[in-house]
Amino acid sequence: MLRPRELSRSVSAFAARTPTLLPATHTNSYALGGREVLLVEPATPYVDEQREWIAWARALAGAGRRPIAIFATHHHPDHVGGVDALAKELALPVWGHAKTAELVPEVPFARRLDEGDEIVLAGPRDEAWRVLFTPGHAPGHLCLYEPETGTLVVGDMVASVGTILIAPGEGDMFEYLEQLRRLSRLGAHMALPAHGAPIEAPSALFDKYVAHRLMREDKVLAALGATAAAASHARTGGATLGDLVPVAYADTPVLLWPIAALSLEAHLVKLIRDGKARKDGSRYMVVSGT
């Protein structure tokens, strides 16, 4: 794995080993800006990787680039695992959404960013990165967009290796799909994901993610109807998550069914919100007329 990787005169990447969801094994950090630099994703909790990350950040000075802050797209451990150590070692403030700050209480966030904010980085060409609030994968998830070059930092909205988990509780499938559609409408030239290689013309991938999730939603709804009917015949009423996973995820290896169960529940929460399903205790049922 090549690191650091220079993506342009003002964007470089550093992939650090993190405890992330396989098949991904690393999380990408990015240095944005030609002179003033924003360091994105203080990801790694591993001391050896933190040393390499710090060396990368300090070496930016050799190209006339000066880090001014560390930015976290969201609170998951494979994105903020090194935030405390890296911020202290480099004496840099931490920026992110208020919800991320709330979920990482051990670290003070010097700047709490939200939709409509702008991060201006001075340089040979000043860069104005727009802050986009993109909940769905995580409640405080932020993306960054630089319209002049069409560069979009997407965190965990999509990946070019592996997939994105929408877990019940902190994830929201409805919001996630809405934000993917919104990102697609930007028509960005390049997306910088937390996992995997940069993505050219990413709108096609955003649209593909939406289509795939809707296909899975249809499978979940069909499975709900089939298993609920069988349960009704057996006079048990409705279907449990355990009943639904083998049907809705029959095309998925059994080894992945525990993770599939989380996605399944997120889909069911959305179906309930859409008025297509209901829940009674631990059992789910199709709403009549769906």
CATH fourth-level superfamily of 5-201: Ribonuclease Z/Hydroxyacylglutathione hydrolase-like (3.60.15.10)
**Model pLDDT for residues 111-128, shown as the tens digit of each residue:** 999 999 999 999 999 999
The partner residues of 200 in beta bridges, in order of sequence, read 190
Is the pLDDT higher at 171 or at 4? 171
> Nearest to residue 103, comparing CAs of 58, 140, 137?
140
What is the average per-residue pLDDT within 51-55?
A: 97
Instruction: Give the chain's mean pLDDT.
Output: 93
DSSP character string of 248-288:
HTTTS-GGGHHHHHHHHHHHHHHHHHTTSEEEETTEEEEPT
Per-residue pLDDT reduced to its tens digit, 281-290: 888 988 876 5
Edge-to-edge strands, sheet with 36-40: 5-6, 11-17, 26-32, 36-40, 66-71, 94-96, 111-112
236 or 103, higher pLDDT? 103
DSSP characters over 36-79: EEEEE------HHHHHHHHHHHHHGGGGT-EEEEEE-S---HHH
**% of the chain with per-residue pLDDT over 70:** 95
* Domain extents in the chain: 5-201, 216-286
The topology under which CATH files domain 216-286 is Arc Repressor Mutant, subunit A (1.10.10)
